[in-house]
Structures are given as C-alpha cells and as structure tokens.
Amino acid sequence: MRKYFLIASLFLAVIIPACGDKKSDQPENAQLDSTLYIYDSTEIKAQPIEDSSQFQLSYNFVKGEKVRYRLSTISDNMQTLTSDTSITMKLHQEVIYVFDLTPKEIDKDGIIEADINILGVKLSADVNGEKFEFEAGKSTDSAQTVRFAEFLALWNNPFSIRFNKSGEVLEVFRADKIANKFINLRRADTLDTQTKNDIKDQMVAGVLKPMVLQVIRKMPEQKLAKDSTWSIQQPPISLMVFQINYTNKYKIKSLEKLNEDRLAVIDAGMDYNITGNNRFEERGVVYNFKKPVSTGEGTIYFNIDKGRIQKSKTKSYTETSFTFDATTPQGKQKGSRSEVVSNTSILETL
C-alpha cells in the first residue's frame, strides 16, 4: 500500500495525535524552552537497595495530573547498492518529542483513559553530509510546511488512549484532527474519504501507537521480585522474503531508590526465529537473500511507588543483504544490496 506520509523513525517508533474538544494550554505558535530538547542518554543515578519483598509493576496514574515526557529517537541507516558502480547512502536522524499525558477517566476496573498532547517536536538529520533541522513553532516557508507536514500535524493536536493497569494498550483514538491537519498542510483536500481514513489509520498504527508503547509498556500481572523474569511474544513481521518471530525477554536486575521512590531496574533483550526461502525469482531476476541479523537490548526503570515508567533506553539493530543475477539484452548483470539500521529510543519523565 502506498504511504502518504513519511514519519521519521519511531522504531520507533514514534506518536501523537487526535481529536479533542479541549484546546491546548499553549498558543499554536508557542515554542518550548530549547533545553527541553536536550536528552540524557545516561543511566539514572540512584541508590541500590536490598529488598526481597514482592511487588507489582502496575500503572497508577492520578486523574487530572499531567505527566510530562521527552521521547528521543536516534536512527542510523546505511544502504549500499553495488552493480556496475557502487552507491552508498548514509542517514543519521534525531527526532525529539516533548509531550504531556493527562489521565481523564479511571474506571472501577482500573482502565485509564488519557489525553496525549505533543508540545514540541524537533528534528535534525544528516543525509550523506547534507544537514537540516526543523522545529515546530519556528517560522517556516511554504515549502518547509509541506516537507514537514507530518510533524506539524502532530504538534499541539491532542489524541487519546485507553490502557489497563498492567500496561495493555486497548485503544489509540481521536486521531482525526491530526490526519485532517496533515492533509490540509499537504494541500491534498481532494482525496476521497477512504484515502483520508487510510491516512488516519496509518498514522495511528505507524506513529501514534509505537510512541504510546514507549510510555505504556506491558508488564506482568503477577507479583515479582528481584531476579524475576518474563517474556512477551510479538506478532510476526515480514522482512524481505522472510518472516521473523520476535520474543521480548525481561529480567529485574536490581532495585534502586530514587528520592523516596523504589525503582525496578529491568534488563530488556530479545530472541527471534526466522523462516522463509532464501531464493526468489521474478521476471528473469534471481535474488539470493541472506538471513537478517537482528539484536535488541535496553534498560527500563519502572517507578514502583508512582506506578509508571521513570526512564527507558532501548536499542535495536538489523542487518539485511541480498545479491541479484539478471539476464538483460546487454548480457549478464550481477549486483548486491545491503542495509544496516540501528535505532535508539530514550524515554524520560521530566
């Protein structure tokens, strides 16, 4: 399916949007303090404690209490295509979001409905040595407005989520205003209703939900203690000719004290299984694919006493490659293509 928008990263990730009757607390053209875009990639400096008691990692937000976050996604991509000549493309990109999560309703079963409002978006990128930056709220010409429409559509445009105490995200909704603003900025008002709905669904699935899942991560419902482990099977994904089945694995490495709050320090990793045929032929071109190499790791600090993620830093790495052999009127043609992608996501409670 054709993509009608390009969202930077978000392996993350990334997220935000929607429809709500309530206006943002800040004017449309307001800019954040530039220091809010400076992320901290270091570990939390807390005091290790010895505690053998059991606890639950459950979300415990307070109705009406805003919690501010910063989500930074750092992506590197290198692609190399070799045939008669060799072409290499290198991309380094950083996208930083500052946003508020405000619980609106909490029912008797602990289901939380909350609004998310992105207050600031900043992008910096380097594509083969060509550098550019964008920050929502700074004056932009019409060409920049079209080029960065996906970011401007997210900015100061709240959307809503529903999740339970264990961190299962039940719904991401009210994204209509984000999709409509994107369409208007791209001057695509003539699109039919079905296409507009497709754009909204793509934004929810490809941008908003991945961002939400950095803030609200699924946790076990049972009681845990230091050294407890668990795993979560992920839906299979397709990559080239392969299907990859990922399993996220977690272990509580230690307990720490931050001010008066206990933190569960969680090691995150993953296992995966790849299936599929390495060889593929289409229109006289024979492709031979090498099985992808993928890794993932990270640390999550869950605030046991406040009932939310205090900070997290996760990394992923994927390497893919294939060769091709074609018969053309000019004779045999051989070549190869390789790609290395790494992503780092840093979530911080401000």
- pLDDT tens, position by position, 194-235: 998 899 999 999 999 999 999 999 999 999 999 999 999 999
Q: Is the pLDDT of residue 168 over 50?
A: yes
Domain ranges of the chain: 34-349
Region 237-259 average pLDDT: 95
- What integer pLDDT is reported at residue 138 of this predicted model? 84
- What integer pLDDT is reported at residue 147 of this predicted model? 87
Q: How confident is the model at residue 9 (pLDDT cuts 50, 70, 90)?
A: very low
Average pLDDT in the chain: 89
Lowest model confidence (mean pLDDT) among 22-26, 154-158, 319-323: 22-26
Dihedral of the alpha carbons of 45, 50, 52, 53, in degrees to the nearest 10: -60
CATH number of 34-349: 2.30.230
| Cα–Cα distance for residue pair 228/30, rounded to 1 Å | 45
- What integer pLDDT is reported at residue 139 of this predicted model? 66
Q: Is the pLDDT of residue 25 over 50?
A: no
- pLDDT tens, position by position, 33-58: 889 999 999 999 999 999 889 999 99
Q: Is the pLDDT of residue 21 over 60?
A: no
- pLDDT tens, position by position, 77-113: 999 999 889 999 999 999 999 999 999 999 999 999 9
Instruction: Confirm if 197 and 204 have CB atoms less than 8 A apart.
Output: no
Q: Is the pLDDT of residue 268 over 60?
A: yes
| Cα–Cα distance for residue pair 171/67, rounded to 1 Å | 19
Share of the chain above pLDDT 90, in %: 77
| Cα–Cα distance for residue pair 343/94, rounded to 1 Å | 10
Q: How confident is the model at residue 8 (pLDDT cuts 50, 70, 90)?
A: very low
pTM of the model: 0.87
| Cα–Cα distance for residue pair 218/318, rounded to 1 Å | 23
Q: Is the pLDDT of residue 14 over 60?
A: no
Q: How confident is the model at residue 334 (pLDDT cuts 50, 70, 90)?
A: very high
